[in-house]
Structure 1
């Protein structure tokens, strides 16, 4: 596996520090054009499809914002959700500390799914895919949850936690699937798609 030879101006449609860091770790040079698409989705679609739906929606919004020559651009957008598989409940980004506490309390001592949808698009081609990771938290005390929220303020994170932060380091028992997917970008799958569909051979 070698760095990709991509004959495009790569654009990441996200200002998420985690996604920016992960794309840099893939040795990909890119610009950022932040998508401002809302995160609303039809209530009648499966929660497993929501990340792909939102990733495509974000991608289309970034294309609308591009002012330079578009023929040489490749836009990458992503959306990540946290899902309780037994109830099919999507745990959104928390609105405040109390909401964050309630979300993490629901994750304590049980398994949940982290699903990322990715849209990779040029003017000629549009590919959408997703990845799913199963995460198991141990039982977390109320004191641990409140400490994490007050210290790390996870209000920009789906499911109200960052796997790379304190609560992930001390509280996660197992991760089945891509660790980086839990951070917000399924890097291995993205690499394969870019290499197989968009890279110079």
Structure 2
């Protein structure tokens, strides 16, 4: 099982969303995962749109331990960097966040992230970058207000991750004023093969309920 994340340098003007489920591919060279990128600069009309980046690339990796692979692709007008997390013995976590008491203050933006740990984080070599050292952004509101619905649900840009079934999922929320951190809270979940886990975070100005639904990774679309 692997998760895929694209690093982008155009934030907050270019924010990627997803994935909506775990990304899977075979480690067989004849059956790679194909990544397609089609980025355009919008013109006055569709016919005047210009290409920023267009590429099609196969991705394969294998191994007995979870680790992070990094690669970069250069096209005529841009350079794209990819981070690919190869996660073994994994389960899928679908995350939902809801404000249950208080409110998120005006003027503070939010950064919601997760990181994972597992067997591989305790058995690393100097040649491998472990998955647990990577923080995955679920929502970075930037200079905008945190998107909260009338029922308190927070609209995450991404809410699905994968983790080793013997590890931990560390969910973290930062409230910032500009670049200054005002509050930082986190909570730890232990993976399950099914069912759900619930935890609460007290930010001081509001309380949030974090719900994680666990499931085995399915090979079916």
User: Shorter-chain-normalised TM-score: which range?
Assistant: under 0.3
Quick check: which one's strand share is greater?
2
- With the length of structure 2 as denominator, give the TM-score of the two structures: 0.26
- Structure of larger gyration radius: 2
Quick check: which one's helix share is greater?
1
